[in-house]
Chain A
Amino acid sequence: MASANAFTRARYKYFPDHLIGELLSKRWMESAVPTVILVGVFGYLSLNLPHYLSPINLMDLGRLYAEFGLVVLAMGLVMIGGGVDLSIGSMFALCNIAMLSLINMFGWPLWAAIPAVLVFGAALGAVNGFLIGYLKLRAFLTTLVTLIIYRAIVDIGLMNFAVEISGGFLESEAWDFIGDGDIFGIPSGLIAFLILAVIGHVMLSRTRPGWHVMAIGGARRSAHNAGIAVKRTICLTYVVSGVLTALAAVFFAARLGSAGSDVGSGMEVGVLTAAVLGGISLGGGRGSVAKAIMGGAIVLLVTNGMIRMGMEGGSSSLALGIILLFAVGIDVKWLKNRYKIINKVYVSPSYLELPDAPSPEKGSGTPYEVNDRLKTVTAIGLGTIEGPEDVILDHNDNLFAGTRHGDIIKFSGPNFETQETFAHIGGHPLGMAFDPDGNLLTCVGGMGLYGVKPSGEVYKLTDETNRTWYSINDDSRLRLADDLDITPDGQVYFSEATIRYEMHSWPLDSLEGRGNGRIICHDLNTNKTHTVIRDLIFPNGICTSFDGKSILFAETWGCSISRYWIDGPKRGKVEPVIPNLPGYPDNINRSSDGNYWLALVGMRTPTFDLAMTMPAFRRKMARRVAPDEWLFPNINSGCVIKFNEAGEILDVLWDLGGENHPMITSMREHKGHLYLGGISNNRVGRYKLENADPDWVGIDSYWGKKS
């Protein structure tokens, strides 16, 4: 049995189940299917075609790919903007003929002819752009018409000049380089393509024009309402598409010098397939340069491979069609079902064995024995406040509490009957602390660490920390900053409960029992942030010790309190203070007698403790049962505990019926009273403490008495 446990423990310790869900959640996983197809096709061809991996062949493929890829890029851009450009093949043919006739018939020098053809391409695109962007014609029909018109111009041009155009053979080193040259084995065309792809990627993903295109493709009306110049932007996508196509045509002209009448005919189908296969949505708004590159590569490799394998005539088109149909089918299914899969596999339980919980039962003899002392709690702001996770009071007896609505509410007056919104932050404020200047610092779920000046002005301290290079989830962003405290030298230590779940789904983390959380330090002097301790099991409450040399922190699902030394000989070390609590600890705060208050948000149950040692059971539950039916830890009724530096339990306050103040997440002592907060409560509780210093104010114990 023991060895079986050890095996289970090792299996869940070393096998990174949670990475599967994290990988699937990545946006670039949308391209997973095209990537697999690409690798498969390339692998198959290199095994089955002689000399496939030879430098000469790769270079030839690169040359072909540059031309095709440029056109796919052009089509991709238009599609992301919500349009489609069917005239792309005719434009390609027209630009090819323009280029050849400029140099072969009119004898233009290259430096003039190439820019002229690019401008020509832009003009052809601008015709589409003007009709679709400004006159709001349908992209499909418009480009279908320009396809025919441009093709007709090609035919007329060929009819009259084909022989002259084809007759010439420009002898120029520069022209040969464009068509047939390379730099260190990389074909000239591919170099141009790669440069443009990088520029395109940056433009599309990092700049305003790119975002505008994305926004228009996603929702044209919304983009218009947001003040984006929709008409002009759409027009420009067609212009850019024209220029890219013209450039591809220049490389094609240089490579073959062919003015054949079938140049570019049917190209739009291949290009469109490539874009869709890469994952660029036909509906617009979704796509990237990488997707265009990938889709283009697959289609080119398949068509080229078919020719090379000696497939005859129609059969190669048929095979291509079937492969593409298959791939597109899988792709659509994949995109559609990815989120379902993520939902099923994201929760990845691990093995967590807790010692037997001390019993809080009456007569059990433990310090946690239940009582009914919180029965006398009075309510502040009953029904007018939602979710005060933490509460704090200042010198003037003003009480501050965060709300679910993203506000900090200030209660004032002798019985806190006056209520006003002190500041609006936008996210749910959780833990709070005053800095020496009287600013109220708070951890805001989903946002980060913020401060509020006494005037009510909100400012951001940080919303990021250092990125760990090996983590799959981006752990530089703060997802769930929870509680904080400030050390005498101005370091803000704050906990981030989990890096795998967002503010609204934090209870899901309890099913995992993995160290998903961390403690982060923000230096108020330098404004720098770095992660201090990782892999904590839902770190929650944080409190600086009275001597300022260590911080105490609670791990909620780990049911323990630990101490982290920030000064002195043990600096940097973590040691346990209370290793085994009967419930789930939340915030920790100082008490007037030199000890600490601790809130237990809920009590442990034998069932859930057992479930924590059965990760397979919890995984099955997460996959097969609706979330409403899941087994969650009890976070409904708890208590308040007082403990000393040594971790001994000195006192415990219960609300037996759970009627007055269920689910306590925080408590703050102030002038002989204890103020209670609860993340799901609709009130702040106030409890009269016996034998407590009636003048003690929490801030003073940090920053000294204010005169």
Chain B
Amino acid sequence: MLKKFTLKKLLALGFASTLTLGMLGSAANAELIDELREPYIQSFKGKKVAFLPIAMGFDLTEGWAEAMKAASEKHGFEFVIRDPNWNTNAGTQALTALIAEKPDIIVAHNPDVQSYARLLKKAEKAGINVIQVNMKSSYSTNVYVGADWVEIGEAGAQEMVKRCGDGSGTSGKVAIIQGPLTGAASVYQVKGVMNILDQHKEIKIVANQAADWDASKAKAVTQTVLQQHPDLCAVFGFWDVMTLGAAAAVKEAGQTGKVSVLTNGGGNQMACDNVKSGAFDKVWSYDVPGQSRDLVSMIKMIFQSNAKPGDMRVALYTPLKVISREAFDPSICWSLKK
């Protein structure tokens, strides 16, 4: 009875609307519906992204977190941060707990190539998509967003060859200051550096040490090297914040301008300021705003495509920007909004 009635009503309604549409004319007929927009909006609902940095409180992680947080507020997905504060063991605990909590995406910033590997595998097995950011684990997950460390290492080494190599009139002595030796940024940058320097035997690496991303350690290392080798030609530090220590040591030794300080980083305002002041000679920036946009894009893509772990193996290597005194462009750098 009800069904019949409804059917009748529907028919009447259909007839009526046809009439109405006809009367309204061509204007209504022309309205197109963007069929991607609604699923796009819906794809964020009830989703959760967890960010596991090495630590909060420095430009890279704060920059990424800011962008992801802004996206989560705009699109209405949940965003949480677990901060192990430079403690790898705490990081593994946080990751273990996250696997149990089952967010839709874990954005993992690996302290080294090994510590999280097993757990990331476990996370994927549990159906969680993992985006690794800037520092890769030896275990590859669906997505990697971050710097191409080999490329940066090669660029740095080429600059060293240019400044200290044959015909430069220098001693050819260079020092390399790494982060933690097992960190992806160290492992692959060293590889890039060696790719170049193996062909340039005139460059002598007089120091190749780990300062564990710590500026004071980098300063101590550089001071020692400068005492042993006052004729040092260049220092290549694997991260700008850490390399500030090396620059300070060079400055204290009165060697600014004589010892080139080369480094790389997220392109924070600090990098531009220091290039301007002469503390750094050249900085390769992997542009945190750009990385952040890549990150958010990959999050959106995973949500909309319903990708499962293992569906893809994608790497988005960040295009490099170069900050140098010769071609100084302050617009390259960025700073946190807050």
Contact = CB atoms under 8 A, between A and B. Distances in A.
Interface of A: 50-51, 54, 56-57, 60, 64, 155, 158-159, 162-163, 165-167, 169, 179-180, 255-263, 266, 303-304, 307-308, 310-314, 316-317
A16 B243 CA distance: 70
B89 interface: yes
A310 B182 contact: no
Interface stretch (B90-98, B167-175, B317-325): B90-98
Interface string B52-66: 000111000000000
Given A307-B84, A307-B90, A314-B85, A260 B100 contact: no
Contacts of B97: 57, 60, 304, 307-308
B175 to A, nearest CB: 14
| Shortest Cβ-Cβ A-B pairs, 3 listed | A258-B115, A162-B181, A166-B114
Given A169-B138, A260-B180, A304-B93, A312 B117 contact: no
B82 A308 contact: yes
A532 B57 CA distance: 73
A266 B111 CA distance: 17
A577 B82 CA distance: 78
B270 interface: no
A255 B89 CA distance: 11
A64 B88 CA distance: 13
A307 B122 CA distance: 20
A310 B101 contact: no
B199 to A, nearest CB: 21
Given A260-B182, A307-B94, A163 B187 contact: yes
Contacts of B158: none
A262 B101 CA distance: 26
Given A158-B181, A163-B181, A307-B94, A313 B100 contact: no
Nearest to B50: A310
Interface in B59-81: 80-81
A29 B263 CA distance: 59
A169 B117 CA distance: 10
B83 A311 contact: yes
A167 B87 contact: no
Contacts of B96: 60, 64
B209 interface: yes
A258 B112 contact: yes
A258 B88 contact: yes
Given A162-B181, A163-B182, A261-B181, A312 B115 contact: no
A403 B131 CA distance: 85
A186 to B, nearest CB: 17
B210 interface: yes
Contacts of A179: 118
B328 interface: no
A155 B100 CA distance: 34
Nearest to B115: A258
A261 B210 contact: yes
A256 B115 contact: yes
Contact of B112 (A166, A266, A308, A311): A166
A245 B93 CA distance: 19
A159 B208 CA distance: 9
A261 B113 CA distance: 12
B140 to A, nearest CB: 13
Given A159-B209, A307-B97, 10 more contacts: A57-B100, A60-B96, A166-B138, A180-B118, A261-B212, A262-B212, A307-B94, A308-B82, A312-B81, A313-B56
Contacts of B111: 260, 262
Nearest to B112: A260
6 contacts: A64-B96, A158-B182, A260-B115, A261-B212, A266-B87, A313-B83
Interface of B: 55-57, 80-90, 92-94, 96-97, 99-101, 111-115, 117-119, 122, 138, 180-182, 187, 209-210, 212
Contact of A257 (B86, B88, B118, B180): B118
Contacts of B94: 307-308
B107 to A, nearest CB: 14
Nearest to B96: A60
Nearest to B119: A256
Contacts of B55: 313
Given A261-B181, A262-B87, A50 B101 contact: yes
B92 A256 contact: yes
Contacts of A262: 86-89, 111, 180, 212
Contacts of A310: 80-83
A637 B81 CA distance: 81
A203 B168 CA distance: 71
A433 to B, nearest CB: 69
A51 B101 contact: yes
B90 A256 contact: no
A433 B37 CA distance: 104
Contacts of A259: 112, 114, 182
A255 B57 contact: no
Contacts of B113: 166-167
A51 B101 CA distance: 7
Nearest to A252: B89
A60 B92 CA distance: 11
A148 B140 CA distance: 36
B169 to A, nearest CB: 32
A678 to B, nearest CB: 71
A313 B89 contact: no
Given A163-B181, A307-B93, A312-B83, A255 B100 contact: no
B180 A261 contact: yes
Nearest to B89: A263
Nearest to A254: B118
A256 B114 contact: yes
Nearest to A180: B118
B244 to A, nearest CB: 20
A304 B87 CA distance: 12
Contacts of B118: 179-180, 255-257
Contacts of B114: 166, 256-260
B210 A159 contact: yes
Contacts of B92: 255-256, 258
A51 B209 CA distance: 43
Nearest to B126: A56
Contacts of A50: 101
Given A158-B210, A163-B182, A56 B100 contact: yes
A257 B212 contact: no
B138 A167 contact: yes
A270 to B, nearest CB: 10
A258 B182 CA distance: 9
Contacts of B212: 261-262
Contacts of B182: 158, 162-163, 165-166, 258-261
Contacts of A308: 82, 93-94, 97
A257 to B, nearest CB: 5
Contacts of B84: 307
Contacts of A166: 112-114, 138, 182
